[in-house]
Amino acid sequence: MSKPITVLVSIDSNSLLLGARHFKNYLSNLVDTYNLGSIVEVLETGSFGDYGKGVLFLVLPENVMYSLKNEADVEKIVSEHLLKGRQVNDLLVTDFEPEGPVEARSTTVEERVVLRNAGAIDPRNIEEYIALNGYQGLAKALRISEKEVVEELKKSGLRGRGGAGFPTGMKWEFTLKVDSPDKYVICNADEGEPGTFKDRLIMEGDPHSVIEGMIIAGYAVGANKGYIYIRGEYFESVSSLRRAISQAYEYGLLGPSILGTDFSFDLSVRLGAGAYICGEETALIESIEGKSGRPRLKPPYPPVSGLYSKPTVVNNVETFACVPPIIDKGASWFKSIGTASSPGTKVYSLCGNLIKRGIVEVAMGTTAADLVYKYGGGIPNGRTLKMVQTGGAAGTFIKPEELGATLDFDSFKEFGASLGSGVILAVDDTHCAVDVARNLMEFFAHESCGKCAPCREGTHMILHILEEFSKGRGSKDLFDSLYDIASTMEDSSFCGLGQSVPVPLRSIIDRFEEEFMAHVNAAQCPVGVCKFEKKKKKR
Amino acid sequence: MSVDIIRDTVTRIYEDINSQSLEKGDVLINTLHAIQDHYGNFIPIEAAEVLKDLTGTPLSRIYEVLTFYTMFSTSERGKYVIRICKSLPCHVTGGQEVIDALKKRLEIGMGETTDDGLFTLEETSCLGLCGVSPVMMINDEAYGNLTAGRVNEIIDDLVSRERGE
């Protein structure tokens, strides 16, 4: 950076909606108007993560962060800070610590892994990624054998960040061991789990970390082709990745003889088209093959027989982003972060009724309470927390008194709170448990692909019962039958979608049975959310 | 539309997208997206026949794909397709009021198009913009922190833009 002052503007899908690009352009124009062009550089960077404060500008070298709500704020920064060198105190973000723009501040472990570059570099410029040790992991991987790369991954204890937590190194080993001339690496970027927006910000804030992770995976398992399967609605992520891929080709990091070796790797983006089920890996594979996204029978699992029946590694965006630093810094460094069973960090999406909604990366083993109150800033409008859904739509609902649960891949066993895709969805006391459950089940009923009866029919049966409750027509029998349907779905659904619907359902009816029962033979919904219909007279 | 009218266009789009192909048959969905973008929010059903000839994929399979995925439509939609998020993170931050306001303002239900052909209202699952919920997308543009008042403004703006005001 040759100019003495740099203003970094955090741009991502969420901050864009708060006017980030407009403010940035406005700033650039003002800089020109005041003839500051020779000393002030205005640059876009990835996500700073926190949307509770509006649009964020980081002014370097002073490391001062401002939060802006309107154009007048931009003018103030130009006239005071840039022209006169005086800090604009009423726009300052005071709890900002310069060395860590996105991740957890003042927690037990301070390590940025996945979001190491987001908010620090211009994601549209490969050179900035390379300048911060980008593609070092790949260079290192190419100097050791495929087996050694897999061993390092296994030693690191990295587990899949998509939600299931399967050990990544083991998955890669399965694929490496299969003798096949054609193998594939697929990045599952079909982020559709309600409440999850971490992958979006990784792809938009640091796309090369995902690409580098995929190339390393390709080398490690012996695959020469890769696909990134992204949701069709993620326009920004698609263009971010396409731009990054073409830069990587330009720099010889994709294509033939990568970094002077005889390893070649091609990478291409494929779009989804609005089907949650395509997040299931075999449905995703079907979709890339140009079919409707219906899951396949497992086994065989994709590492042995996946895309075009060839061995295929499928990992989540966040998982791939973890890979380069593991190879670069070593498995023992990675293991020093997080918990024994779940090493590393986790990127959480904080949403719902929280003061500070956004993304935050903290070490595995953080408590749900810290995520809600410390990072999420607590509950707005003076309301009280009623429940938190952790892990996404297929995750668990917990009550405020259970927030002490430490979150990692084993927390479901221990605390009944799932880590899943890292969603922390806070729900305040203006909401009714029946209405929340009904909304959730509408989602599953809509997204069930229809292939198997337990899921296709089960989701609709559950939804119907919940609708009866929300109209004041529930009963104890109906309530009990929810458990029956849940266990049938769990035992007999074809894929993970149907099998996991009982998880959120049971967690909410277990904890709010009283509130469900308060809808039976009552004059109105106890919280006043559900609109009761008049009862039909019994014939 | 007849197959002959669209054959050249669909062929050109397919050949353009097919240059990204790594394996045979891996660009069907990307191609359908491009065709839909070209015709503006819908895919003429006859495009399936052209694609059958180009790719050798059975017609039934192409029809299945066309109808399986929510984002594709074979019937003409409004100039502006509004996708409003119905998932829980939007729901608990006031999503229902926003949906009600949209329906009232446009005087249509979910899946319907306004008489002037300007707006189609669709519901969608989570759009991954939960940091600024409730959210909606109008074509490829997203809008966040919505309220009933805000959606009315947005619709008013689009309507007056269309009238050339």
Confidence of residue A103 (pLDDT cuts 50, 70, 90): very low
From B38, B68, B98, the end of a domain falls on B68
User: HSE on the CB side for B102, CA within 13 Å?
Assistant: 32
Interchain proximity A443–B86, CB inside 8 Å: yes
* Nearest CA among B149, B141, B138 for reference residue B105: B149
Buried b (16+ CB within 10 A) or exposed e, B34-70: bbbeebebbbbebbbbbbbeebebeeebbeebbebbb
Contacts of B126 (CB under 8 A, 6+ apart): A192, A193, A194, A195, A196, A393, B85, B87, B89, B90
Q: How many domains does chain B have?
A: 2
What is A345-427's CATH topology?
A: Ubiquitin-like (UB roll) (3.10.20)
> Nearest CA of chain A to the CA of B159: how many Å?
21
**Do the chains contact at B89 and A276, CB–CB below 8 Å?**
no
Helices (H), A273-387: 281-288, 317-329, 331-335, 368-369
Sheet containing strand A225-230, strands side by side: A266-271, A225-230, A184-189, A312-316
Residue B73 covered by a domain: no
Closest to B93 (Cβ–Cβ): which among A287, A288, A352? A352
pLDDT digits (tens, 9 = 90+) for A137-186: 999 999 999 999 999 999 999 999 998 899 999 999 999 999 999 999 99
Q: Both B117 and B57 in a single domain?
A: no
Q: Using an 8 Å Cβ cutoff, are A495 and A281 in contact?
A: no
The residue of chain B nearest to residue A193, with distances taken between CA atoms, is B126
The 3-state DSSP class for residue A345 equals strand
Q: Which of B29, B91, B137 shows the shortest C-beta gap to A271?
A: B29
- The residue from B26, B44, B68 where one domain ends is B68
A431 to chain B: closest CA residue: B92
Q: Per-residue confidence at A536, pLDDT binned at 50, 70, 90?
A: low
The highest-level CATH class for domain A126-335 is alpha beta
Range of the domain at B20: 3-68
For residues B140 and B96, membership in a common domain is answered with yes
Q: Answer yes or no: do B22 and A227 touch at CB < 8 A.
A: yes
How far apart (Å, rounded) are the C-alpha atoms in residues A107 and A117?
A: 19
Distance CA B151, CA B154 (A): 5
Taking CA atoms, what residue in B is nearest to A449?
B68
The β-bridge partners of B124 are B85
CA distances from A423 to B79, B97, B124 (A): 34, 24, 19
CATH number, residue B157: 3.40.30.10
Cβ atoms A219, A183 nearer than 8 A: no
Q: Do B125 and A270 touch (CB under 8 A)?
A: no
Q: Looking at chain B from residue 93 to 112, which residues have their Cβ under 8 Å from any Cβ of chain A? A: 93
Query: What band does A535 get if pLDDT is binned at 50, 70 and 90?
Result: low
pLDDT in tens, A184-202: 999 999 999 999 999 999 9
Find residues 382-401 of chain A whose CB sits inside 8 Å of chain B: 389, 393
Q: Verify that B49 and B21 share a domain, yes or no.
A: yes
Task: Provide, as residue numbers in chain B, all residues whose Cβ is less than 8 Å from the Cβ of A270.
Answer: 26-27, 29-30
C-beta atoms of A436 and B88 within 8 A: yes
> Cβ of B140 under 8 Å from any chain A Cβ?
yes
* pLDDT 10s digits, A30-71: 999 998 988 898 888 877 767 777 888 988 888 888 988 899
- A195 in Cβ contact with B89 (< 8 Å): yes
Please tell me if residue A261 touches chain B, with a CB cutoff of 8 Å: no
Q: What is the ipTM of this complex?
A: 0.95
Q: Does A53 contact chain B (CB < 8 Å)?
A: no
Instruction: List Cβ neighbours of B90 (8 Å cut-off, separation of 6 or more).
Output: B98, B126, B130, B133, B134, B135
List the single best residue of B64, B129, B137 to mutate versus A (max A Cβ within 10 A).
Answer: B129
Please indicate, yes or no, whether residues B84 and B43 belong to a single structural domain of this protein.
Answer: no
Q: Which class for A216: exposed (0-12), middle (13-18), buried (19 or more C-beta within 10 A)? A: buried
Q: What DSSP line would sit under B26-74, residue for residue? A: TTHHHHHHHHHHHHTS---TTHHHHHHHHH---HHHHHHHHHHSTT--S
Which residue do the tokens 């590492």 mark? A303
Q: How far is B4 from chain A (nearest CA, A)?
A: 24
Minimum distance, in Å, between the CA of residue B63 and any CA atom of chain A? 10
pLDDT at A106 over 50: no
**Residue B133, min C-alpha distance to chain A (Å):** 8
Task: Walk along chain B (165 residues) and give the pLDDT tens digit of each residue.
Answer: 788 889 999 999 999 999 999 999 999 999 999 999 999 889 999 999 999 999 999 999 999 999 999 999 999 999 999 999 999 999 999 999 999 999 999 999 999 999 999 999 999 999 999 999 999 999 989 999 999 999 999 999 999 999 886
pLDDT at A110: 40
* B68, B92, B118 - which closes a domain: B68
Whether B56 and chain A come into contact, CB under 8 Å, resolves to: no
Q: Assess whether pLDDT exceeds 50 at residue A107.
A: no
Which element (helix H / strand E) includes A176? helix A168-177
Token pair for A515: 């509130």
Beta strands A184-189; A225-230: pairing state: parallel
Which residue of chain B has the CA closest to A376? B131
Is it true that domain A5-96 has CATH number 3.40.30.10?
A: yes
User: For residue range A415-440, what is the model confidence (pLDDT) as tens digits?
Assistant: 999 999 999 999 999 999 999 999 99
What's the CATH number of domain A433-517, 1.20.1440.230, 3.30.530.20, 3.10.20.600, 1.20.1530.20?
Answer: 1.20.1440.230
Q: Is residue B9 part of a domain?
A: yes
Q: Which of A152, A266, A135 is nearest to A220 (CA)?
A: A152
Of A95 and A313, the structure prediction assigns the larger pLDDT to A313
Name residue, tokens 């089907």: A275
The answer, for A512 touching chain B at a CB cutoff of 8 Å, is no
- The encoded tokens of residue A139 equal 């260079």
End-to-end, the C-alpha distance of chain B in Å comes to 33
